[in-house]
Amino acid sequence: DAGVIQSPRHEVTEMGQEVTLRCKPISGHDYLFWYRQTMMRGLELLIYFNNNVPIDDSGMPEDRFSAKMPNASFSTLKIQPSEPRDSAVYFCASSIGTGLNEQFFGPGTRLTVL
């Protein structure tokens, strides 16, 4: 069975450009989480969804960040406009049943904003 799929795996862009990160959760999982990992701040939860509905977006750093989940098999995290400090690895994770269960992480997207 396929795990969580993220694309692209690497993204290099210039400051001011729009960036869209994509995630396909494991089929049947009803929770989806977006995380950001940096050396300075470690792993931070940005937002999570339950049954495609955003539940907690308190971790989204600024209005430049937005996330959507139009259906159970697809989510996007968008940064517009991007800034160098957004450079990080962005992980998507999914879980099933309750948010208490183990989260299955995707391979991450390494974003570099020049």
Interface mask toward another protein for 65-94; x: CB under 8 A: ------------------------x-x-x-
Contacts of residue 75, defined as CB under 8 A and 6 or more positions apart, other chains included, come to 22, 23, 24, 25, 32, 34, 49, 67, 68, 69, 92
Interface mask toward another protein for 18-47; x: CB under 8 A: -------------x-x--------xxxx--
Closest approach, Cβ 94 to another protein, in A, equals: 12
User: Which residue's CB is nearer to another protein, number 35 or number 79?
Assistant: 35
Q: Which tokens hold the place of 48? A: 């999570």
Residue 31 near residue 96 (C-beta atoms within 8 A): yes
